[in-house]
Structure 1
Amino acid sequence: MSTDDADDLVFKALADRRRREILDRLKAGPRTTGELCAHFEGALDRCTVMQHIGVLERAELIIARREGRARWNYLNAGPVKAISDRWISPYATHAVELLASLKRDLEKT
């Protein structure tokens, strides 16, 4: 899979607020699929939560591991870092340089 295809999967996965909420839950540590489903109880059914988890897995944002009957989901921050390195950091660097230049110009006057 090309880098652009992988980036597309990550952007698609991050586009939905419920998938971002799943990732937020996993920042604190691994969760079972049952725990993730329980978090959305009343808002989403188990099948829908599983579909969202599937999108996150295809984007490699989640790594799942089975332990007996339990399925543990782990956050994989690598794809997010790759997106940041490619799309955010270069723009942030440019913005910081502009602010530094503005500061120098203002201090001269």
Structure 2
Amino acid sequence: MTDTFTALSDPTRRLLLDRLSETGGLTLSDLAEDLPMTRQAVAKHLAVLEAAELVASERDGRCKRHYLNPVPLAKIARRWLGRFEEVPLAAMSGFHGPAGERRVAQT
């Protein structure tokens, strides 16, 4: 899971994932279009995303097409966000008294 967080920490990689979520099956040239970097730099970002299993690729003749793999993102959502869905908001945040003094919620 560390690879996933490392891959998601870079804004360019998040942009590539956004593009793949909108339109899957993009080539390296498609992904590099309008980005202020070389195709080689985009390829390095794709390699990080593939190592984190966030992107799957397949050959289509001479082209290599890239697709978003949502499974690692779903695992993160379930592990890190899912546990907070059932907890009342007041219990998570506590209560703030005067002048920002924080008091723990009484149960």
Report TM bin, short chain.
0.7 to 0.9
Amino acid at match of 1:80: L
TM-score, normalised relative to structure 1: 0.77
**Residue 35 (structure 1) aligned to one of 14, 30, 37:** 30
Q: Which has the larger radius of gyration?
A: 2
When the two structures are aligned, how many residues end up with a matched partner? 92
Judged with a 3 Å threshold, the aligned counterparts in structure 2 of structure 1 residues 98 and 76 are, in CA distance, closer, same or farther, namely same
Aligned residue identity for 2:46: I
2:76 to 83, 93, 103: 83
Q: How does 1:11-30 map to 2 (within 5 A)?
A: 11-30=5-24
Distance in 2 separating the partners of 1:73 and 1:96 = 39
2:101 aligns with none
Q: CA deviation at 1:35?
A: 0.2
Code of the residue aligned with 2:29 in structure 1: it is G
Q: Which amino acid aligns with 1:33?
A: L
- Residue 74 of structure 1 is matched in structure 2 by 67
CA RMSD of aligned residues (A): 1.8
SS at match of 2:57: strand
User: With structure 2 as the length reference, what TM-score do the two structures score?
Assistant: 0.78
Identity of aligned pairs, percent? 34
Dislocated runs of 4+, deviation >3 Å = 95-99
Structure 1: stretches of 5+ with no match in the other structure: 1-6, 100-109
